[in-house]
Amino acid sequence: MHAVIRTYSGEGAKELFDLLETRKSDVESLIRSVKGFVGYSLIRTGDGGVSVTVCQDKAGTDESVQRAKDWIGQNGSNIGASPPKVSEGPVILQLK
């Protein structure tokens, strides 16, 4: 499995997470349909938020990053949020 963490902070990040919260069903449909999807979390922080996507392989997480970028560009470009800091790597332990 492979995971990607997108950290949104700075200008527009809180507003972006307000939008994501009001459009949760859109976000769920978008991410669940990624090939190899395993899990997803959207976490609000004090200065914005974090998303964590786990897929069967790197191709899935790469697809999720592109879909997130496209969705934000289409639905939240007026917010002016800074691009996220992206961290990724192989999952070594996942507990449920």
Q: Look up the pTM and report it.
A: 0.91
Q: What is the pLDDT along the chain (96 residues), one digit of tens a residue?
A: 999 999 999 999 999 999 999 999 999 999 999 999 999 999 999 999 999 999 999 999 999 999 999 999 999 889 988 999 999 999 999 888
How many H-runs (helices) and E-runs (strands) does the chain carry?
3, 4
69 part of a folded domain: yes
Residue 68's domain comprises 2-90
DSSP state letter for 33 = T
Residues 6 or more apart whose CB falls under 8 angstroms from that of 86 comprise: 4, 5, 6, 7, 65
96 part of a folded domain: no
22 part of a folded domain: yes
The CATH number linked to 50 is 3.30.70.100
Indicate the number of domains in the chain: 1
